[in-house]
Homo-oligomer: A and B are copies of this chain.
Amino acid sequence: MLVQAILLGLVAMLGNAEYLLGTSCLSRPLVMGALTGIIMGDIPTGVTLGATLELAFMGSFSIGASIPPEMISGTVLGTAFTISTGSGLETALTIGIPVASLVLIVKNVGMVFILPPFVHKADDYAAKGDMKGVARMHFLGGFFGVNLIIGLCVAIGFYAGGPAVQALLDIIPEWVSNGLQITMGLLPAIGFALLLNMIMNKKVACFFVLGFALSVYLGIPTTGVAIFGAVAAIVLSQLQHAGSTQVALEGGMDDDDEDF
């Protein structure tokens, strides 16, 4: 039990370590579910539950500063309890989703109170020219500010057991969990706002509206909008520089060879 709790904590930390390993999607339910299955000794169920939770969290991913529900803990605990109690698919969802919302709050506590000191310490090292110090802050900040927290949540949660977690979740009134879910729908706006803040100016603001309108009026998916956007970008860039030497965006050549 304790050993399993620790192992699951490590699995969760490995999941979060995707951010040290190339943002490689280790934290996705599909992967976490399978690894939890291995630890719990029922790989097929772990894999299947991972697939189910993956579909539930499909729309959760991070854009700019919008942090999605903490899927790792949700998946690992949801899967583990389902396997250990031998209950059905729904259990994984009814535990996984609220846990993910809850741990997101805990994670944010870490990001607001624990991580910043490391960032400021790195500034000090930089000012002294201490490269090693900067590197150290990088590693320690991520570890203590986020990674460890998630691991602890999972390990403690599993050790406390399903009923305890469930009891914790049950305390939460419906309007609160509804409210958190509403917040999840609003959060991406922060991400997009930060992206806009990096790109937008008066001259090009209308293209944001254009992309939005193409999607809502015509139901074009984002890749489709990107294709139309690329055409617009190429044509408009050409026109802007008409008269002067035209640059071919794709190839970086100075002249426009007719034989493509």
Contact = CB atoms under 8 A, between A and B. Distances in A.
Interface in A218-257: 218, 220, 224, 227-228, 230-231, 234-236, 238-240, 242-243, 246, 248, 250-251, 256-257
Contacts of A238: 203
Contacts of A213: 224, 227-228, 231
A170 interface: no
Interface stretch (A79-87, A96-104, A124-132, A204-212): A204-212
A224 B242 CA distance: 29
Contact of A260 (B205, B239, B250): B205
A201 interface: yes
Count the copies: 3
Interface residues of A, number: 35
A239 B258 CA distance: 21
A227 B211 CA distance: 11
A241 to B, nearest CB: 9
Contacts of A257: 201-202
B235 A209 contact: no
A205 B238 CA distance: 13
A200 interface: yes
A175 interface: no
A233 B206 CA distance: 10
B201 A260 contact: yes
A200 B260 contact: yes
A229 to B, nearest CB: 11
A248 B206 CA distance: 12
A257 B227 CA distance: 28
Contacts of A209: 227, 230-231
Given A201-B259, A205-B260, A239-B242, 15 more contacts: A201-B256, A201-B258, A201-B260, A202-B248, A202-B250, A202-B257, A206-B230, A206-B231, A207-B231, A209-B227, A209-B230, A210-B231, A213-B228, A217-B220, A218-B218
